[in-house]
Amino acid sequence: MNGAVVLTSRRRPAIWYWLIVIVLAGVALTLALWPRSGDVQRRDPDRRLYVNVKRAVSGGKIKLDGRGDAVDEYVIYAGVRAPFPKEPYFEDSMTRNAELVVGKEVRLRFGKQRTDAKERMLAYVFCGDEFVNETLVREGLAYVRSTKTNDRFSKRLLKAQKEARKRRRGIWKDRVWTRESSYFGDPKYGNFHRRSCEETDRINPARLRTFKSAGRALDEGFAPCAKCKP
Ligand SMILES: [Zn+2]
């Protein structure tokens, strides 16, 4: 009897001790997770950023003017590939992109992969109601380039590309269609190649995709390689 009383009186401070520990841990966790000002990623559940555009470098790259939520100097458009400087429609693509975004505030949305291999911000760009990446694809001024880590709007973008191909707009107007027995796609980068391209040999066999035609590769969200021009 006496032993039991001693045991109970010894237990009581232990319960209070654990209650205090739990409350303090709760307070610490709340403070740690509380959104801080400037922490845009936490503040916005959709992980959006608002930035101002200074210049269009190409149809798939913009320079920011440093205001807004800018965390980087440049933004690369996700899910698409615009013509490179020596490819046809490079100028048209850049000019149209400038018309759409320069001097405006745009909203950036992100897929799973927020930066590219060169650590540049990779984003889907919205200006008002306009989805800029999609507009460029629909007007035949960019290819869809869907990767495993950035396929968030692929369905929408592929629909726009189908329309551009059907109406033969921009890059589709005088595209030279090659006729090879197979084309080779790399889902990591979202590009496809001819057999003879040196890039084909660099594709990890575990992820290599084979297509019967260039059209099939395009329909699956692969963009043509700028070197081998499949
Ligand atoms: Zn190639």
Q: Give the distance (Å) from ligand 1 centre to CA of residue 106.
A: 33
Whether the pTM exceeds 0.85: the reply is no
Residue 143 CA to ligand 1 centre (angstroms): 15
Q: Where are the domains of the chain?
A: 43-171, 177-224
Residues 6+ apart with CB under 8 A from 132: 77, 97, 100, 101, 106, 125, 126
Backbone angles phi, psi at 87, to 5 degrees: -90, 155
Distance (angstroms) between ligand 1 centre and the Cα of 128 equals 36
* Pair 192, 214: CB distance under 8 Å: yes
Q: What is 43-171's CATH number?
A: 2.40.50.90
Per-residue pLDDT of the chain (230 residues), as tens digits, is 444 445 555 556 688 888 999 999 999 888 877 654 444 444 455 567 899 999 999 999 999 987 766 667 899 999 999 999 999 999 999 999 999 999 999 999 999 888 888 888 999 999 999 999 999 999 999 999 999 888 999 999 999 999 999 999 999 998 999 999 999 999 999 999 999 999 999 999 999 999 999 999 999 999 999 999 99
CA 201 / ligand 1 centre spacing (Å): 10
Q: Is 191 helix (H, G, I), strand (E, B) or coil?
A: strand
